[in-house]
C-alpha cells in the first residue's frame, strides 16, 4: 500500500525558510515523478513543483520560482521542498503527490499525503 | 497560461445526477478529476478524461466534448458532498494546472 507522509511544517516569520519532507513507501519511489501541491486556508488546490523520477528535471509554478527548490533522495525514498523568502501568501497545507504513470511523462496524481501546514506570520 | 474554469458550486438532491464542468481555455489535453472532502486530502476519481481508478464507484464518470470536460455523478449520495477539482498537465509550459474547484452540495 502506498504511503506518503509529510513533515517539517510549522510557523515561520516572513522572509524565513522552512524545509518540508515527504517519506514514501509502498512503491518503487525511484520510478515515479513527484509533486508538491498546496492549498491555502479555504482556497483551492495550487500546484507548486514537480521533480522527475531521476531528480534530473524540476519544474515550478511562477509563484514560487526562484524561492522554492524541490529535490529527492531515491536512496532514502524521500521528497523535499526547500522554501526560502517565505511570504504570508505561502501559508497553506502542502501535500506531496505521486505521479500515476511510471517512467512515462507527467499527467496526474494517484496518491496524496495528508499534508503539512505551513504558516507564515510575524 | 492555461486556464480551467469550473462553476463555484453545484447543488443536487439525493438520488439525482450531478454534473460538474471544466472549461478549457485551450483544448487538447487529458483532464483528470479529484474529490476532496472537508479536512481530507484529494482523491483521484477520474483520469484521462473518462477512466476510473480501481475502488471508485461506477457512479462516477468523465466525458469530454468540444471545449468542456464534465464529471458526472449519478445516484448522488450524501457522502458525495465535497469539492471537486479538474486538472491537466500543460506540456507547453511544463506546469500542472488545477481548476478553481466546485463545491458539490447534496440537498
Residue A30 near residue A14, CB atoms below 8 Å: no
* Candidate from A50, A95, A100 with C-beta closest to B96: A50
Residues of A in contact with B86 (CB under 8 A): none
Residue A103 neighbours by CB distance under 10 Å = 13
Residue B106 neighbours by CB distance under 10 Å = 19
Distance in angstroms (rounded) separating the CA atoms of residues B5 and B23:
5
pLDDT band at B64 (very low <50, low <70, confident <90, very high): confident
Of the candidates B37, B38, B35, the residue with the CA atom closest to the CA atom of residue B56: B35
Residues of B in contact with A40 (CB under 8 A): none
* Candidate from B1, B41, B53 with C-beta closest to A110: B53
Distance in angstroms (rounded) separating the CA atoms of residues B46 and B37:
16
- Among B7, B22, B96, B97, most A C-beta atoms within 10 A, so best to mutate, is B96
Res B26: pLDDT: 52
Distance in angstroms (rounded) separating the CA atoms of residues A50 and A35:
4
The average pLDDT across A76-83 equals 98
- Give the tens place of pLDDT for each residue, A13-49: 999 999 999 999 999 999 999 999 999 999 999 999 9
Rounded to a whole number of angstroms, the distance from the CA of B29 to the nearest CA of chain A is 10
Amino acid at each position: 500500500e502506498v504511503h506518503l507522509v509529510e513533515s517539517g511544517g510549522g510557523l515561520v516569520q516572513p522572509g524565513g525558510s522552512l524545509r518540508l519532507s515527504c517519506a514514501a513507501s509502498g512503491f518503487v519511489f525511484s520510478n515515479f515523478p513527484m509533486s508538491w501541491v498546496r492549498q491555502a486556508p479555504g482556497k483551492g488546490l495550487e500546484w507548486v513543483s514537480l521533480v522527475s523520477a531521476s531528480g534530473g528535471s524540476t519544474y515550478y509554478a511562477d509563484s514560487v520560482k526562484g524561492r522554492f527548490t524541490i529535490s529527492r533522495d531515491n536512496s532514502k525514498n524521500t521528497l523535499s521542498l526547500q522554501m526560502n523568502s517565505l511570504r504570508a501568501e505561502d501559508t497553506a497545507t502542502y501535500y506531496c503527490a505521486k505521479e500515476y504513470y511510471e517512467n512515462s511523462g507527467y499527467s496526474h496524481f494517484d496518491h496524496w499525503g495528508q499534508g503539512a501546514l505551513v504558516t507564515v506570520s510575524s | 497560461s492555461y486556464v480551467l474554469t469550473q462553476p463555484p458550486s453545484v447543488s443536487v438532491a439525493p438520488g439525482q445526477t450531478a454534473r460538474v464542468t471544466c472549461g478549457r481555455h485551450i483544448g487538447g489535453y487529458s483532464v483528470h478529476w479529484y474529490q476532496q472532502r472537508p479536512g481530507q486530502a484529494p482523491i483521484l476519481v477520474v483520469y484521462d478524461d473518462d477512466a476510473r481508478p480501481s475502488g471508485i464507484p461506477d457512479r462516477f464518470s468523465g466525458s469530454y466534448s468540444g471545449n468542456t470536460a464534465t464529471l458526472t455523478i449519478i445516484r448522488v449520495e450524501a457522502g458525495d458532498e465535497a469539492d471537486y477539482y479538474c486538472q491537466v498537465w500543460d506540456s507547453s509550459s511544463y506546469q500542472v494546472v488545477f481548476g478553481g474547484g466546485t463545491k458539490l452540495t447534496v440537498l
